[in-house]
C-alpha cells in the first residue's frame, strides 16, 4: 500500500468567539490524505482555512474534532512522534529579535530534543544562504533573511514532512528561486513537501498533486495533470490577414472576443466542437488566416471555475 504522509479524517475547527465576535467554523469536516514523497499543493482563496489546517497538523492549533495522523502517528495517541515528523515554515514572521540565526537554530534543535552530535546547523545555514549572517542579531536581518531563517528552523529536526505556508508571498525573485531550489532538492532526498501558495502558476509548475479547499471544505483533490485535463474549454486564437467582418456565423456554444493586434480568440468546448468547424466558419466569413494557435486553460481557470460558484 502507498505510504501516507498525512491522513486527516472528519477534521473540524471552530474558533471560539469573543464579546463582539461570532464563533468561526474554519474547518468543516475535512477528509484528506497526502501521499509520502510528493510535493503537494494546498490551494484556496483567502480565509479558506489553509493556515488553520497547517497549524493543526503542526500541533500549533488545537482541533475541535476529527483525527489527524502524521507519518503513521495519531496526533492524540503519539503527540511527540507526530510532531517530530513535521516541520513548518509559518506564514507569519515570529522570532526573537535578540537571537542570532545560529542561536535560533540551536534553541529550536534543543526544543525538539536533537542531540548535539546530530545537529546540522552549519549545513542548514548554508542551504538557506545565511552562513555569513550566522552571528547577526535577528532584528538586523532583512525581511527576506528572516524568511530564510524560518525555513531553516523548520528543518532542524530533519522532519519527513516539510510544510510551507505561503512561502513566496511578497518575497523577491532571488528568495523565491532559493526556496524552490531547496524544495526540489529536499523532495529529491525523500522529504514530503506540502505548500500553500497564491501563485497558481507556481503550484502548476511545482506540485504533483493539489487539493483546493474553500470555506473549510475540500472542493477537489487530484493530480495537477488531471486537474488541468478536467477543463474542457479551449481557445483558438486566429490572426487574420484582413479586418474581420462584424458578424461571423459560428457553431453553437462558440464565443468570439477580440484580442490586441487584431487577433480573434474563439473559446469552445472540446467535447462539443471540433477546431476544424470553427476554422471553416472563419473562412466562410471571408477571413484569410495568417496564423493560428490554441490555448489550454491553466490552473488559474480551474481554480476560478471550482471556487467561484460556492
Q: Which of residues 32-51 bind ligand ADP (CB under 6 A)?
A: 44, 46-51
Task: Determine the distance from the C-alpha atom of residue 217 to the mean position of all C-alpha atoms in its chain, rounded to a whole number.
Answer: 16
Please give the sequence-ordered ranges of beta strands (E in DSSP) within 51-191, or none if there are none.
65-70, 73-74, 86-89, 161-165
Pairing of strands 192-196, 161-165: parallel
Choose which of 26, 27, 40, 51 interacts with Mg ion (CB under 5 A): 51
The grid cell for 265 is 480568440
Region of 233 please: left (phi>0), alpha (psi -120 to 50) or beta.
Answer: beta
* Pairwise CA distance, residues 18 & 20, whole Å: 6
Q: Quick one: 152 or 211, whose CB is closer to ligand ADP? A: 211
Q: Quick one: 64 or 91, whose CB is closer to Mg ion? A: 91
Nearest approach, Cβ of residue 307 and ligand ADP (Å): 12
Q: Quick one: 176 or 198, whose CB is closer to ligand ADP? A: 198
Q: Quick one: 10 or 113, whose CB is closer to ligand ADP? A: 10
- Assess 55 for contact with Mg ion (CB under 5 A): no
Say which entry of Mg ion, ligand ADP, none residue 133 contacts (CB below 5 to 8 A, set by partner kind): none
DSSP conformation class of 261:
G
The grid cell for 261 is 493586434
Nearest approach, Cβ of residue 47 and Mg ion (Å): 8
CB 147 within 8 A of CB 175: yes
Nearest approach, Cβ of residue 67 and Mg ion (Å): 23
- Assess 26 for contact with ligand ADP (CB under 6 A): yes
> Which positions touch ligand ADP (CB under 6 A)?
15, 24, 26, 44, 46-52
Amino acid at each position: 500500500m502507498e505510504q501516507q504522509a498525512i491522513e486527516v479524517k472528519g477534521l473540524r475547527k471552530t474558533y471560539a468567539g469573543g464579546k463582539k465576535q461570532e464563533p468561526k467554523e474554519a474547518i468543516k469536516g475535512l477528509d484528506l490524505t497526502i501521499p509520502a514523497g510528493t510535493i503537494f499543493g494546498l490551494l484556496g482563496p483567502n480565509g479558506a482555512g489553509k493556515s488553520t489546517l497547517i497549524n493543526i497538523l503542526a500541533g500549533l492549533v488545537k482541533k475541535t474534532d476529527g483525527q489527524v495522523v502524521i507519518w503513521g502517528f495519531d496526533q492524540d495517541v503519539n503527540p511527540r512522534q507526530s510532531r517530530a515528523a513535521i516541520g513548518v515554515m509559518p506564514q507569519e514572521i515570529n522570532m526573537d529579535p535578540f537571537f542570532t540565526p545560529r542561536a535560533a537554530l540551536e534553541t529550536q534543535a534543543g526544543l525538539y530534543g536533537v542531540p548535539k552530535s546530530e545537529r546540522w546547523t552549519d549545513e542548514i545555514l548554508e542551504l538557506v544562504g545565511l552562513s555569513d549572517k550566522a552571528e547577526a542579531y535577528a532584528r538586523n536581518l532583512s525581511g527576506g533573511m528572516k524568511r530564510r531563517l524560518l525555513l531553516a528552523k523548520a528543518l532542524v529536526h530533519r522532519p519527513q514532512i516539510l510544510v510551507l505556508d505561503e512561502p513566496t508571498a511578497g518575497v523577491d525573485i532571488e528568495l523565491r528561486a532559493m526556496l524552490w531550489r531547496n524544495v526540489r532538492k529536499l523532495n529529491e532526498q525523500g522529504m514530503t513537501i506540502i505548500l500553500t501558495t497564491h501563485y497558481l502558476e507556481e503550484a502548476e509548475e511545482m506540485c504533483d498533486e493539489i487539493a483546493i479547499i474553500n470555506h473549510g471544505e475540500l472542493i477537489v483533490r487530484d493530480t495537477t495533470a488531471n486537474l488541468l485535463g478536467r477543463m474542457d474549454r479551449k481557445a483558438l486564437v486566429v490572426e487574420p490577414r484582413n479586418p474581420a467582418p462584424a458578424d461571423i456565423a459560428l457553431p453553437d456554444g462558440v464565443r468570439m472576443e477580440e484580442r490586441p493586434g487584431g487577433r480573434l480568440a474563439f473559446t469552445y468546448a472540446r467535447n462539443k466542437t471540433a477546431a476544424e468547424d470553427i476554422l471553416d466558419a472563419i473562412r466562410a466569413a471571408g477571413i484569410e488566416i495568417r496564423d493560428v494557435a490554441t490555448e489550454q486553460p491553466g490552473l488559474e481557470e480551474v481554480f476560478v471555475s471550482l471556487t467561484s460558484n460556492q
